[in-house]
Amino acid sequence: MLILGLDPGLGTTGWGVIAADGNRLGHVANGHIRTDPKLALPARLVELHRRLGEVLAEHGPEAAAVEEVFVNENPQSTLKLGQARGVALLAAAALGLEVGEYAPRLVKKAVVGTGGADKRQVHAMVQRLLPTAKIAGADAADALAVAITHAHHLASARAVGRSAA
């Protein structure tokens, strides 16, 4: 199963696609989408949506996962992050994909083992779990971590479903 992970942001949205077969994971692709800060907010959101559509069309994931919003000290930044996250949810859901949503602490715990991990630790563990990946930066590493978290949750749900049957 191909899973798209997204780490949304208005300035930079990280994305990563993995192949998951049970507990086996493989890297497919990763990158980031940057929007021009000189553009008006609506134009930036349209650009983000268009570029996410290109990623979705190119890789054809069967599932998607998006990191939830964390609250910044600056309320304006939190609102912009929420709007970018909404675009990410819309882009995947419009194609009929079920979209998992994960809090940053849960992603860190799933990938590193502790919810208080820093970005370097997340990046290092993603590189260890996907050794062939050439990671395009911190946002792409976070997006791959979100995809890995979703893969683990899907595998756990299937295992629970099998044992209940």
Which residue numbers are catalytic?
7, 67, 139
Q: In what order do the strands lie in the sheet with 12-21?
A: 24-34, 12-21, 2-7, 63-67, 99-102
> Quick one: DSSP state of residue 35?
-
Q: What residues contact residue 65 under an 8 Å CB cut-off, 6+ apart?
A: 3, 4, 5, 6, 99, 100, 101, 102, 146, 147, 149, 150
Report the C-alpha gap between 87 and 50 in whole angstroms: 10
The two beta strands, 63-67 and 24-34, are unpaired
Specify the length of the chain in residues.
165
> Quick one: DSSP state of residue 104?
H
Q: Taking each helix axis as running N to C, give the angle between helix 138-164 and helix 119-129, from 0 to 180 degrees, rounded to the nearest 10.
A: 60
